[in-house]
Amino acid sequence: MNSRRNFIYKITAASAMLPFIKPSNYFMSKTNMDDRILRVAIMGLGSYGTRVADAMQSCKKAKLVGAISGTPSKLLVWQSKYHIPAANCYDYENYDNIKNNPDIDAVYIITPNALHHDAVMRVAKAGKQVICEKPMAVSATEADEMINACKEAKVNLLVGYRMHFEPHTLEVIRLRDTGAFGKITFFQGLTGFDIGDPNQWRLDKKLSGGGSMMDIGIYSVNGSRYMTGLEPVWVTAQETKNDPEKFKEGIDETMQFQIGFPKGIVASCLSTYSMNNLDRFFLDGKDGFAELHPAAGYGPIRAKTNKGEVTASDVTQQTLQMDEMSDIIFRNKVPIIPVDGEEALKDLKIIAAIYEAAKTGKKVELNG
């Protein structure tokens, strides 16, 4: 009774104060909390950067306002296409100056993998929120440095795990959490495509940090974790290379890997740059199963369980991702599956263990 009386008293007192609150301050506070738009500059204006930029035209909580590129002609195209002011365009030499630009809140780094580390460090030092494509770095050591830099700068470090917001994926996870599949026993992740052009940056270890595992393989690594809801304890792996001329030293063509989880759960996965039509997750339990197929492509994603098709919304993944990241940054939303630097670091440690297992032929234990 006393707590209820105190609550009523506090509400009454607060109401009495409203006439003395300046309207501009009151509504500014509400706007900052509820309606603030995340103003984003994209770094790296290639095919995926363009996909994100196009998707952001439909965002309600995020807006594309800037561009960073080493190619002046691309910047001119983006200025025209996306109505970006010239003052919000930078090259790779001068983008540290974003620290003096109040019209940019965040930078989304969509460059080759090996360039992520330096870009994150510089953007964090400039005091801007950081969004980085996956894999976040090419090593766990780099990832640690990036995480610490963002903590020191007091900015968010978010990673482009778009599947963490995808409705079919989240519905399967919800069903798993309700016990719909019973005790989970097995996961399979198949991810791959025929990479084509031998001269692209993905096949240059100095830019990519590795082969298929550092690109498409991360989906199965990450998917095994969010689909089982557990963290792995060991890995084994086997590498197959049929075209050593195209897939040179340090660039894995095909990797088969197994991941062990607590409770005896095992994941069997394949990552490849030489096979098409591989985009499937399968989760098996004592009482049922779930399949995502396609599982990690740009959509539409499709899912079914032992009881039939999973009904969920079809979305433009990058639109949803950027709106959700706005909520994380401005409204402290906690995503169902993390998308922060620590989440990315876990994947990088597992990938490093997979490479070690393939090289040594031994089971590699994971220590967190």
Under CATH, what is the fold of the domain 36-159? Rossmann fold (3.40.50)
What is the C-alpha R_g of the chain?
23
Unique residue bearing structure tokens 């009151």? 26
- Position 19 scores a pLDDT of 39
If one compares 5 and 327, the residue with the highest pLDDT of the two is: 327
Query: What does the DSSP 8-state code read for residue 182?
Result: -
C-alpha–C-alpha distance, residues 244 and 275, integer Å: 16
End-to-end CA distance of the chain: 48
C-alpha–C-alpha distance, residues 138 and 205, integer Å: 10
Give the pLDDT mean for 126-145: 98
Tens-digit pLDDT profile for residues 273-304: 999 999 999 999 999 999 999 999 999 999 99
Give the pLDDT mean for 263-273: 97
Give the pLDDT mean for 204-233: 98
Q: Is the pLDDT reported for residue 152 higher than 80?
A: yes
- Which residue spans of the chain are classified as CATH 3.30.360.10? 163-315+340-365
Active site residues: 134, 219
- Position 32 scores a pLDDT of 56
Q: Is the pLDDT reported for residue 14 higher than 80?
A: no
- Which residue spans of the chain are classified as CATH 3.40.50.720? 36-159
- Is 137 exposed, middle or buried, given 0-12, 13-18 or 19+ CB atoms closer than 10 A? buried
Query: What does the DSSP 8-state code read for residue 310?
Result: P
Q: Is the pLDDT reported for residue 319 higher than 50?
A: yes
Q: 41 with 68: CB under 8 angstroms?
A: yes
The number of beta carbons lying within 10 Å of the beta carbon of residue 193 is 17
What beta strand segments (E) does 215-349 contain?
Answer: 234-240, 254-260, 266-272, 274-285, 289-292, 303-305, 308-309
Q: 3.10.129.10, 2.60.40.10, 3.30.360.10, 3.30.420.40: which CATH number matches 163-315+340-365?
A: 3.30.360.10
C-alpha–C-alpha distance, residues 219 and 236, integer Å: 17
- Position 34 scores a pLDDT of 74
Q: 186 with 266: CB under 8 angstroms?
A: yes
Q: Is the pLDDT reported for residue 26 higher than 90?
A: no
Q: Is the pLDDT reported for residue 8 higher than 80?
A: no
C-alpha–C-alpha distance, residues 219 and 87, integer Å: 37
Amino acid occupying residue 20: F
Cα–chain center distance at 102: 26
| Helix 47-56 and helix 317-331, axial crossing angle in degrees, nearest 10 | 70
How would you classify residue 254: left for phi > 0, otherwise alpha for psi between -120 and 50, otherwise beta?
beta
- Position 172 scores a pLDDT of 98
- Position 289 scores a pLDDT of 98
Q: How confident is the model at residue 2 (pLDDT cuts 50, 70, 90)?
A: very low
CA proximity to 90, closest of 50, 146, 43, 152: 43
Query: What does the DSSP 8-state code read for residue 329?
Result: H
Tens-digit pLDDT profile for residues 226-265: 999 999 999 999 999 999 999 999 999 999 999 999 999 9
